[in-house]
Chain A
Amino acid sequence: MTLLEIYNKKSQFATRKVGNEMVLVPLKNNIADMSEMFTMNEVACFIWESIDGRNTENVILTSVIEAFEIDLETAATDYDSFLESLSKMMA
């Protein structure tokens, strides 16, 4: 799933930030399926907020590296893992 596709589906979620984390609940044509509820840690939350329909993967990764003072490899692993989970949830 591309960043633009994810951005276009963001409106189908209710979100609530709590501390540095976030809870994500999908809008569905059914009674809420809580097995699909998603919690995001600080890094995932930052990536979620960075997906704005304009930022590229490189821009987001650079921002993650700067914001959390981590190396590219760690940032890329976090990024890929989060986007994979998000893509599954949005499929």
Chain B
Amino acid sequence: MHSKVVSMRDAIAAHVHDGDTVVIEGFTHLICFAAGHEIIRQQRKDLTIARLTPDLIYDQMIAAGCAKKLVFSWAGNPGAGSLHAFRRAVEKGTPALEIEEYSHFGMVARMSAGAASLPFWVMRNYMGTDLPTANPRIRTVTCPYTGEQLATVPALNPDVTVIHAQRADENGNAQVWGLLGVQKEAAFASKRVIVVVEDLVDESVIRADPNRTLIPGMIVDAVVVEPWGCHPSYAQGYYDRDNDFYVAWEDISRDPAKLQAYLDEFVYGVKDRADYMTRMPGLAERLKAKDHYCEGVNYGF
């Protein structure tokens, strides 16, 4: 099998184009900041960026001028405060940003529809809320069996989805443990998929534990090996979330000059994730995960 392993720079250059709909998924866990930073470095424009929780990485991409539109369901700084670049865009129009807003269930449903190649997804939801007024793409359908009125959301089919995994083989068969978020649906819904990993492993490692494979290589276009690629997000079993940085972002993002200085130093000022890590002395020691292994299972027959 031909190896799909490329550098982050080459993966973004080949698969993320101006005007694309881009999803970098991961719910708190496994958010690939390294990919977002490379998109910023390559100065992609007019992107529609979609995620349940924009998190710090989309705040940075909004501040860097990459985004035309944000599709989301919860735009805060988890446990720490606000995403101030997002808030400036929505409250003051600097920079201009269209928004399309759902709830978490709505976003999950959009990706589920996209992944199943259906035009929409059905939910029992949104009655009484003002969300369908704010977003007319949230609609209703009458159940042909019971007559019940149900909520619908349209499929989301991104041009490209970035998934960070603990490990994959060179074909992109990717294994994930810990919180799974909506990555499987996002990847299957997407036209192109980039998998970024902490560890590149032999196919035999994947085959030894097939239940742990979240993304099959057949839907993967590029594999990037960038350890610590999620920081300040985390990778279960590898490194902890950098909660101190999430708290610090409240102050950095509040001040456009500080935010720009951050981007200059840690995004534009580095060439890749390994370079980024050299600017973070002591980080690896502070956040390295403790061991908590599980026992294997018997896959025999």
Mutual binders A and B: no
- The interface of chain A, by Cβ under 8 A from chain B, is none
Q: Footprint of A on B, CB under 8 Å? A: none
